Amino acid sequence: MEKATFGAGCFWGVEETFRKIKGVKDTAVGYTGGALKDPTYKDVCTNESGHAEVVQVIFDPAEVSYDELLDVFWSNHNPTTLNRQGPDWGTQYRSAIFFHSPEQEAKARASKENLEKSGRYNRPIVTQIVPEAVFYRAEEYHQRYLEKRGVSSCHI
């Protein structure tokens, strides 16, 4: 099993998207990339903790590749909006890839470069590609939030 961590706005819908992919064995929503130890949702929502809302994905690379996960990441949010996705704004909603190995970093950078060259977007891609940071699992009520409520997507 391997691990991937993505920030693409509100983590509820991002988790739901990744959870449905064949080869993804587990998902967890949480916070990473900030300075505050053991942040809560309330801390992260202040836009002062520095954390991003993220989804940590455990996947079987024999069933789904990291490149395929990157394709899902790029396709399910707008990587050109700085610290914003739809009506949600703040640094916690930034577009970010937290890589777990030099191979993941290389693949993430190559995929971003290819997407930039594709002409798909009129504006620059602002997605951060940074080393993994301490992952703090979000409160239990955030885990599989949409599934618990019987809905399949957020407002975006």
Span 81-114, pLDDT tens digits = 999 988 889 999 999 999 999 999 999 999 999 9
Local confidence band at 152 (pLDDT 50, 70, 90 cut-offs) = low
Choice among 3-12, 29-38, 81-90, 121-130 with the minimum mean pLDDT: 81-90
Residues labelled catalytic:
10
- pTM equals 0.93
- Tell me the percentage of the chain whose pLDDT exceeds 90: 83
Measuring CA to CA, which residue among 24, 127, 147 is closest to residue 74?
127
Alpha helices in the chain (DSSP H): 11-19, 41-45, 66-75, 102-118, 145-148
Residues 146, 151, 154, 156, Cα dihedral to 10°? 150
CA distance 47 to 155: 21
CATH 3.90.245.10 fits 2-148, yes or no: no
> Strand, helix or coil at 108?
helix
